[in-house]
Structure 1
């Protein structure tokens, strides 16, 4: 029977992958650099593969290292959940979480399920509002944690996910020819709206904002009815939507990022608990090559989300 992998070694391995440095990883896991190097040699011996290669003064993962990283993260998450499940000093109280409704629809079910299993005595109070409003509530101390669209020019947040932003329309309703592009977007301070309008302006394409709402449900309804074009992150695409590309006259859009904001003074145990669950859920993804006509980026998508090529129609699933 094969000997099991060492959790401590995997924790160090993930720290190196996250920091890109044996030295910084050693600081994170409270070990000497020589101890970290020894752990990685033993892990490579156990796996039978080279996990790192030199990259200038630093180290980067080999293809086998990237493959192991996904397993390592999953094993560490499960290990932490098992420990928390038998912790007699369970967390209690209320945790106020803010999220835009499109993130709530896509990500929150799994986050809530995982958190409730390991911390059943913590009450979750969920607020669904645009990122701008959530940032204001965070500043007033009305929320403990907020999942927001990362925008360093307006607010500080820690990035936990990056993915393509796509032009979308109904697959069943053609756009009117020789007419301004009808748009369904968020309010004027919505980052995605600003990105979309700036992109159309850059290529001189006329457009008209026909629907404005902070509700992703309303925006998606306008798109599905064939009344407008909108922009959505890849994970928010729905059956019956078609992705538009440069071949359709739509310029490429920069990727979008999701960030976490934390209230200063929040209990470290509560903060770490929910943040780890959010990161774990959003990190259950695999890196893929950016789609044609999209800027090169570290693009990540959920495995259960079908990967679309430009112009492809999302089938029912």
Structure 2
């Protein structure tokens, strides 16, 4: 009878694929890089196939590696489900989670997916509303946890992610220089809308709000169609969008901070579990590749203009 596959080796194998390197995988599985390499050599010996090949400075999966990856994920998932089924201390109950729809679109699929796999007996109730409405629901006790735009002037939250806020337009439709900038933004009390208008006013660039919506799908559609410019967190950028920099006449914007609000009285084990999943998922989020040629310009503009925006009291406390 053939010896069974080693679960620890499979977990390390998955970590390498998900992190993109042996070095990063070593940190994830709490092993040295040499130990990770040794595990992969033993796994290749057990399978009788080469799993990785050199690709420049990195490694990529072989055809056999791709084939094993599908089995490895299923084996680890079934192992975790089996353990959970006999765990007398497994988490149970309901968690009411709030998030703006733009965060839900980008972050929630991975958060929900990972949490459901490890805690199948916990029901998740998701509400998508603007941060200001979610904060009100939290105060009324209608939600247990909320992912919001951090803004200590209006609500307290624990910051779990900071990323650039970018001007974006369509990569296929140029913005006219001889006309007011057409904007697609949130409602009047939207902080990003207020920041965008104030920043354009500060550099003397005319603008006109053409689309108003809380829906990130509507705003993104207007941008991709070349009908408007908007402001979005870096991780929310989509293929077909172009980051607009100072060279295009758009001033740098301060970074976005994403925070977590928690309702007192919720089961500590449930709260710790969902918070850990949210934090881990946000750490793994990578921005969509848009126009790489402008990345350096955006970072440079942020570095030069952020102190001036702060001095002019135009930087909100996200």
TM over 0.5: yes
Matched, 1:294 2:302: yes
Q: 1:70 to 1:283 in 2, by over 3 A?
A: farther
In the alignment, the residues of structure 1 paired with residue 286 and residue 246 of structure 2 have an alpha-carbon distance, to the nearest angstrom, of 26
Shift of 1:291: 2.4
Over alpha carbons, which structure has the higher Rg?
A: 2
Q: How far is the alpha carbon of 1:294 from its aligned partner?
A: 1.9
**Structure 1 residue ranges without an equivalent (≥5):** 5-66, 297-317
1:253 touches 1:295 (CA, 8 Å); kept in 2?
A: no
- SS of 2:303's equivalent in the other structure is coil
**Are the counterparts in 2 of residues 185 and 230 from structure 1 also a CA contact under 8 Å?**
yes
Superposed displacement of residue 68, structure 1: 7.4
* Partner secondary structure for residue 167 of structure 1: strand
User: 1:255·1:295 contact (CA, 8 Å) conserved in 2?
Assistant: no
Cα distance change, pair 172–190 in 1 and its aligned pair in 2 (3 A): same
Q: Any conservation in 2 of the 1:254–1:295 contact (CA below 8 Å)?
A: no
* Distance change in 2, residues 1:145/1:254 (3 Å): same
Q: In 2 relative to 1, CA 149–71 (structure 1 residues): closer, same or farther, beyond 3 Å? A: farther
RMSD: 2.8
1:193 matches 2:202: no
So what's the TM-score if we normalise by structure 1? 0.66
Given that residues 235 and 286 in structure 2 are in contact (C-alpha distance below 8 angstroms), is that contact kept between their aligned partners in structure 1? no
Q: CA offsets, 1:249-301, max 9 Å, x none?
A: 000001101111101111111111100100111122689998231238xxxxx
Count of residue pairs the alignment pairs up: 228
Which structure is higher in helix share? 2
Question: Which runs of 5 or more residues in structure 2 are unaligned?
Answer: 1-7, 9-21, 32-75, 288-294, 305-318
Change in 2 beyond 3 A, CA 1:169/1:109:
same
Change (3 A) 1:267 1:129: same
- Which aligned segments of 4 or more residues in structure 1 are displaced greater than 3 angstroms? 67-76, 81-87, 285-290
